[in-house]
Amino acid sequence: MKLPHRRKFLNLAAGAAVLPFAPHVASAQAYPTRPVHIIVGFAAGGPADVVARLIAQWLSERFGQSFVVENRTGAATNIAAEAVVRASADGYTTHAVRPPNLTASRNTRPLSCEAACAEWATRQQSGDRDG
C-alpha cells in the first residue's frame, strides 16, 4: 500500500532534478515587440487622455517601443471597453479607465450594442412594446 507514495516521491525527485535546466529551455520573449495600443474611453484633450498620453510617453521611453493612445468615446466608456474585449488577447491592447468606471452594480449587466438591439427587436416581435 506504500506504492503510491513512492511514485509521488519519484515524480517529485525527477521534477526537482530537471528544474535547474528549465530556465535555459523556456525563456520569455522580449515585450513589447510591436506597438501597444492604450484605448481611452474619453474625449481627446480631457484629463483621462492627458494622463494616458503621459503614461504612454513614459512607457515608450522605458521599453523602447511605441505606445499609441486611441480615444473611443461614447456610452460611458463602454465603446472603449468593448474594443478592448474584442481585441486579440495578446497583451498589446489595454484600457485606460478611471476609478469610477471600475465599479460594478449587481443590478446591471454589460450589454453590447448588438445584444441590446437584438433584445429590443425580440421584444418588438413578441408584442412587448414597453421594452
Structure confidence by residue, pLDDT tens digits, 100-111: 655 444 444 454
Asked whether the predicted pLDDT for residue 50 surpasses 80, the reply is: yes
Which residues, other chains included, contact 90 with Cβ-Cβ below 8 Å and sequence gap of 6+? Answer: none
Average per-residue pLDDT in the chain? Answer: 75
Q: Which three cell numbers stand for residue 6?
A: 513512492
Q: What is the pLDDT of residue 106?
A: 43
Top-confidence residue, 118 or 75: 75
Asked whether the predicted pLDDT for residue 23 surpasses 70, the reply is: no
Domain hosting residue 93, numbered range: 29-126
What distance in Å separates the CA atoms of residue 96 and residue 92, rounded to the nearest whole number? 13
Residue 8 within a domain: no
Tally the domains of the chain: 1
Residue 110 within a domain: yes
Residue 33 within a domain: yes
Over range 31-37, report the average pLDDT. Answer: 89
Q: What is the pLDDT of residue 107?
A: 42
Residue 103 within a domain: yes
Residue 14 within a domain: no
CATH of the domain at 56: 3.40.190.150
CA angle 51, 83, 121 (to 5 degrees): 135
Q: What is the pLDDT of residue 90?
A: 86
Residue 18 within a domain: no
Asked whether the predicted pLDDT for residue 57 surpasses 90, the reply is: yes
Top-confidence residue, 81 or 97: 81
Residue 71: pLDDT band with limits 50, 70, 90: very high
Burial class (CB in 10 A: 0-12, 13-18, 19+), 96: buried
Burial class (CB in 10 A: 0-12, 13-18, 19+), 107: exposed
Residue 104 within a domain: yes
Q: What is the pLDDT of residue 29?
A: 72
Bridge partners, residue 61, by sequence: none
Residue 96 within a domain: yes
